[in-house]
Amino acid sequence: MKKYAARFGVLLCLASLASCGWLPLTQQAGEATPADEHKPAKLVSIAPFPLISWVTMAGKSSTAPAWKHYQLPGKRATSYAFQRLDGRQAVMAKAESSASMMRQSVRISPGKLGKLKFSWKVPQLIDGADLTLREAHDSPVRVTLVFEGDRSTFSAKNAMLSELARTLTGEELPYATLMYVWCNACAPDQVFTSPRTDRIREIALQSGTAQLNKWLDYERDIRLDFHKAFGEAPGALLDVGIMSDTDNTRQTSVAWYGPISMSPR
C-alpha cells in the first residue's frame, strides 16, 4: 500500500502548491483482493478514527488500523479529534489557516462500487472562500475519494505534474480524485474543477447558510457521481478521506464528520 499513500501525498502537495515527500503506509487489514471478486458483497464500514472494526468485501470481520493524519510540509495542520456530538460518533475538524487530512487506504474494484453514506455538521461558512479561485479554494468539509485509472490519457499539463510527482516521491499523480464539498454560493450538485489540476473534481452538496448547524446525512452513488464529474466510468477506489482546509483564506473553521460507510454494488 506504500504507493497509494505516496500518490495521495503527492495529490495534496500539488493541490496546495507545497513541496513534500511521502509517508509510507503498511498494508491495511480487511483489504479486498482479486480473489474476493466472486464472493458475496457485504457492508463495508469506515468509522471515524480511532477505527473500531469493519467488515470486508468478502464478509470477514477484521480490525483495521486507525485513520492516518497526513500533514503537508510548510502548512499548518488542521486539528482532528474524536468526539461524541448530539449522540453521534464524530470527528471534530478545526482548521486555523491550515490544511491536512485524515485518510485510509482501501481497494474496491469498479464493479463493487455502490453507495457512499456519510454526514457532516457545519456551524458557519468560511468567509471569502470560493471554489473557483486558487487563492480562495477552501471548504469547511471535504469527503475525498481517490481512483485508479489510465494515466496515458493525461493532458500535457497533467503529464508534467505527474512527472514532477514522480521526481518528488517516486510515484505518479493519482489518476482521479472526487471530493464532496460545501460552497459559499453555487448551484445544487454543481461540479467544480480544481484550479490547479483537472484530475481533481468537486461536487458541491451544500451551498449557502440555510443548512448550517445541522447534521446533514448523504447517500451518494459513487459510480454516477464519478461519471457526472469526469464523464467516464471509475476505476478502482484506492483512498477515502476527510479534509477541512482554510490555508488559502487564512480563516478559522470548525466542523464535524460522522461515520462513513459503503454499500457495494
Per-residue pLDDT, 40: 39
Confidence of residue 27 (pLDDT cuts 50, 70, 90): very low
Confidence of residue 71 (pLDDT cuts 50, 70, 90): confident
Q: What's the mean pLDDT in 184-211?
A: 94
Question: C-alpha distances in angstroms, 142 versus 99, 110, 120, 177?
Answer: 11, 22, 9, 12
Per-residue pLDDT, 39: 41
Give the residue, 21 or 63, on which the prediction is more confident: 63
What percentage of the chain reaches a pLDDT higher than 90?
50
Per-residue pLDDT, 196: 83
Domain range enclosing 200: 2-263
Q: What would the DSSP string read from start to end of 86-137?
A: TTEEEEEEEEESBEEEEEEEEEE-GGG--EEEEEEE-SSPPTT--TT-GGG-
Whether the predicted pLDDT of 243 surpasses 50? yes
Confidence of residue 7 (pLDDT cuts 50, 70, 90): low
Supply the pTM of this predicted model: 0.80
What nine digits make up the cell of 138?
A: 477552501
Round the CA-based radius of gyration of the chain to a whole number and report it. Answer: 17
How many whole angstroms separate alpha carbon 126 and alpha carbon 149? Answer: 33
Q: Domain holding 106: CATH number?
A: 2.60.120
* 159 Cβ neighbours under 8 A, 6+ residues apart: 151
Per-residue pLDDT, 226: 98
Q: What is the pLDDT of residues 31-66, one digit of tens each?
A: 333 333 334 344 555 555 443 333 233 344 444 556
Tell me if 243 sits within 8 A of 148, measured CB to CB. no
| Residue 70 one-letter amino acid | Y
Domain count, the chain: 1
